[in-house]
Chain A
């Protein structure tokens, strides 16, 4: 265990950033998201949840894949460069840290996504324990411990100090110069976090019946009508979600060529699953159902029972009309045919 005073963090960040890119929760125009760090940025480790999750760092909202350039009769094709240098993501919460493992199950299986894979191979993750979980948090339902968030190293804020415990060699190398510390105050902080986690309003959700066996029963449940009624089909829930993984690939006409890029897509949108004939999901009910069935039924039935939700509660806090996965779990869960 190492420690550093919160006041000295800027120096640690500057040191890391002198050799590689560093991403951290940074405030811009009043909102906090993961951005690349430099001295002039305002880091907000006190903010529990960034608006968008940390997934952005590995799977950005928009990225170029390929450029075509047309000159006369020739077409030149250039693949976008892949990440080649190590970088650090600092201050990732336990829920977001777990989400990377879930994304791996999509992007690192055959056919492997090389853009994502390169970033994963080079990313060093420093997590941060959650001093004050919020009412929307329900990570513990998925076996995530907000007091022990994992990654290459984990950090805890106790008073004016930041304690860091490395878990891997790459994590240890980052903080090798810091002063050694006694772990007892961290142990006390962990106990406090666990005590709050137990009192969270959504701490004990009943997930029985969310599995492949009950697929049709869940799919046909009449409750979807009511649950999806107010849905705007906006996509806020999918874009703030650390485990939503769908994307679209589009071409941008540059005038003398094409830039092929990928961007996040949302199953909540009317042109998602648009095929030559039509969109197979005609109504918002069907789109809404897709999002939650994917997370709670389809994904676990293909991935050893792992749910594609880490309980970060962003959809709970951010849906403009207060629809969310907790509501779905409560309405459909706990039932066994």
Chain B
């Protein structure tokens, strides 16, 4: 009998579809209360650093260069007090096959699919991950489908996303494109069921463990060249895998004193599922519209448990503006001779400011770049912004209103890294636990789980739970 492929029926079969498409027994890691055993999941499902490096190197991923930004460092020092201005290094992840750090995740996911005997892989993404999965599938003789949220209702697409469509097709993938909306997930479920392919989700333990090699490598490279660990590593943050994987890799390399900073672009006020707002964004990743919901509630992904959990690792979180990121992208091109995509420069923008607070003999590492090309470049993105009624001007970036203006700093000294209050994010995480699990009481196990989830003291967690009327 033909299966009911309606929207409701597909969603009702979600768990069985996911299980068949990943073969991960997530229930094995669940604890009695609200939590699950994260480390056990990462240990049992992931691979060791050595295994992953091998898998990645065999597939044109990893060993990317760590570059010193001499002119950007000199520029930062012009604005820093005497003796301040850390050395800025960038790990050129654009050198991975397919042009971004996402290749690290895709390499492991595709090897896993191959090992389990799947004929193809599917990923739901409008970003670099699509290119990464498509390229890895091509190298390994697997079929590939990429599901993209691509167009508004008039079939107008972000130039950056159109480029992702092109590159996925260039690597031989089938691209399924949709208009704006979260129902994409149901289409994705339907495709998994129809094809029997592997769910190469961004959020599986393989997907996150694949990024650990990035943190590990950069610690090794920094030690080798400068005889010490990096003082700060900045990660562009959206769904959280980039930061989580990098931080875990640093810990595995014993770089436990390195501060891990997240950076996102401010897109406050733009609704992610709004048809009208869709093409008002001038950056399609690394922004708060995606990042804040994931930071404060990671388990909203296409996996039962998300392996990307940033509050476990983030020491500090800063917000930059679109105009600032475009400015620094231009600076990277004309001062350093590296033309790299804008979104990956979110962390570089933050590092330019953070370096000014740090001592001259300290090191700050921007852990990625992404490729650039037609569509995925400041020029077409600014052209598109203007076509969509966004005013591009010079002024104080603090006055930028996402979707209405894009404000280049009048002077690079005006670029800021705005502190995002992490304790607010942590409290919001606790409130999401209460709401999403309908908590009335909290067990000892629940409390310990939350403490691990947000890297906070028992007092902090208890105060917030009690405030929400939870019986301990």
A and B co-occur in one complex: no
